[in-house]
Structure 1
Amino acid sequence: MTDHRNIAIITTLINKELYKKSAQLFPENIQKYVIEGSKGMFAIDSIYYMMKKLKGKGIEWLIMADEDVLFIHPDGVYAIIDSLQKNDFILCGVRDGGQIKTRKQSPYAINTFFSVINFKKLEQLWDSSAVGKNQYILPNEFQEDLAALQEEYDNTSLFEPYYCFYFWLRRMGEKILFLEASEPFEGDGLTTLVFDTNGKELLYHTWYARSYGESEKHTQRIDKVFDLIKFDDTKNPEYIYFYDKLFYFKKHWRKNSIRVKMKIELLFNKLRRK
């Protein structure tokens, strides 16, 4: 059994008010980390930043969970860790296509709302430059039987910029375990119920974290899910906070640099043809 002191949970945070409530449901007695995501730090940028900030902290297993993840049975993560360890999977999560009606993209990658990662192994493999070169898909590349999937998917999808991370791992020979999920509530249309590796209910993912407290529709919908779970929501969760204050400016500069480079190349090609 893995020592709980070597397990951590990280959230790329957009909605602090929602996190104050949902973090009370996280697995107990493990370190919480938060990445400030409200300034555009999310997706693959968040993964790069996560690897930079957590390097060398002695984490063996890392749970990634958005603030709109509401754990029903948080101890189920330990069953998942045991299964991943026993069967040599590097991580697990819910497919981003073919598993639930609202996600019709790649069946070969997970959606980042929840995952459990063998961080110790990932840390040894990590190569940020190599990861970024894997945002592509080849025909029939991943030999996987998708016949049992009940929902729509696109096996050529590059919809999410973070797919490169999962494609890189697969091309490195690493295995991903896909968790079962369903849609538990009639009339909700969005919330996803995720099961652990023993088939037990693990968590609800309510989606639309950004809209909580802003949209009456989504606030009421998410609060109905909260009402199903008994917990004390008056506490403030304790966590270690990461914020790259220069990220917005670096990203803006990077985009402008790409535009300038493209214009220079276009001009050079025109001059060369003359």
Structure 2
Amino acid sequence: MLQFIPADVHKVGHTGYSTWKSAVTFLHDAIDRTEDILVVVDEDAFIVDWYGVEKLCLYLKENNILYAGMPDGGIIEHRFHSYIHINPFFAVFNCAIIKPLKHNLSRDIIDGTVFDTAMERFKPSWLHTAFEHDTIEPFAGLFYWLATIGTPLLLKADTMDDGISTVVKGLSDEPLCYHSWYSRQYMIDEPTQRRIDALYLKALGDRKREDHPL
């Protein structure tokens, strides 16, 4: 994953968040430690257009958008949760706006937020698979809360040729990021290892290398 991020970009590796529930603890901690724009990238997600990521970050700043990423329902067959909360294998947060708004609220209050029908105004027209506004994922409440205080940017995505991996699209529908899923099985399942290795090699071949003027 690190190989796909320019050397001059400030990177912080977070460890110790290995439980299912700690996914939301990680997001809270990362947001609280960031003053401006936060880009979250899982270790099995490979950025193939860093310039596109920079453009996305700038777009969030210029338009006061709170977060961006792939909806966790309605677009990928094996993800059927809400389109309001994104799957944070690749996520961008506008912490300059978020931090002051969450400063005086407890994490329990934020995480207890549920879907409200007013959020339906954010529903993309291009959803084509099942979704449910549930609270199964530990980070669901955080994204529902964000949708009550501001605007999300929901990114298109497609399933790749291996039938499992996902490509997330940028502002102009260009590929930004490949995500393999199921990396926890890498060391114990040979087919998964071969699939992830193949995706990594594809990402190396596909990544754009132009200068990044932003």
Query: Runs of at least 4 residues of structure 1 off by over 6 A?
Result: none
Q: 1:213 aligns with which of 162, 182, 187?
A: 187
Hey, what's the Cα distance between the residues in 1 that align with 2:100 and 2:17? 30
- In structure 2, the partner of 1:96 is 72
- Measured in 1, the distance between the counterparts of 2:75 and 2:49 equals 21
Q: Is the aligned partner of 1:66 residue 2:42?
A: yes
Bigger Rg over Cα: 1
CA-to-partner distance for each residue in 1:47-75, whole Å, 9 max, x for gaps? 233245x25xxx41110010010111122
C-alpha offsets along residues 168-198 of structure 1, whole Å, 9 cap, x if unaligned?
11222x111001100121xx22100011112
The 1:128/1:183 distance shift into structure 2, 3 A limit, reads farther
Match of 1:126 in 2: 102
Matched, 1:32 2:8: no
1:109-150 deviations in Å (ceiling 9; x for gaps): 111111111122222222374442243435624232455311
8 A Cα contact 1:44 1:161, kept in partner: yes
Match of 1:166 in 2: 143
| Matched-pair identity in % | 25
Cα distance in structure 2, aligned partners of 1:226 and 1:147: 31
Flag the 1:121–1:45 CA change in 2: closer, same or farther, 3 A: same
Aligned pairs for 1:13-92 (under 5 A) are 22-37=1-16, 39-40=18-19, 42-52=22-32, 54=33, 59-92=35-68
TM-score, length basis structure 1: 0.67
Name the stretch that deviates more: 36-45 or 105-114. 36-45
SS of equivalent to 1:31 = coil
State how many pairs are aligned: 202
The 3 A distance-change label for structure 1 pair 82 and 38 is closer
| Alignment RMSD | 2.1
Aligned-partner residue type, residue 140 of structure 2:
Y
Instruction: Indicate the SS of the match to 2:59.
Output: helix
**Alignment partner of 1:195 is 2:169:** yes
Change (3 A) 1:38 1:167: closer
TM, length-normalised to structure 2? 0.85
Structure 1 residues not aligned, in runs of 5+: 1-21, 232-274
Distance (whole Å) between structure 2 residues aligned to residue 128 and residue 107 of structure 1: 27
Provide the secondary structure at the position in 1 that maps to 2:76.
Answer: coil
> Is residue 199 of structure 2 the alignment partner of residue 225 of structure 1?
yes
More displaced, 23-32 or 109-118? 23-32
Alignment match of 2:84 (pick from 79, 104, 108): 108
Q: Which amino acid aligns with 2:24?
A: I
Q: Which amino acid aligns with 2:145?
A: W
User: What amino acid maps onto 1:76 in structure 2?
Assistant: G
Query: Per the alignment, do residues 138 and 201 of structure 1 end up closer, same or farther by CA in structure 2, a change over 3 Å counting?
Result: closer
Alpha-carbon distance in structure 2 between the residues aligned to 1:45 and 1:79? 28
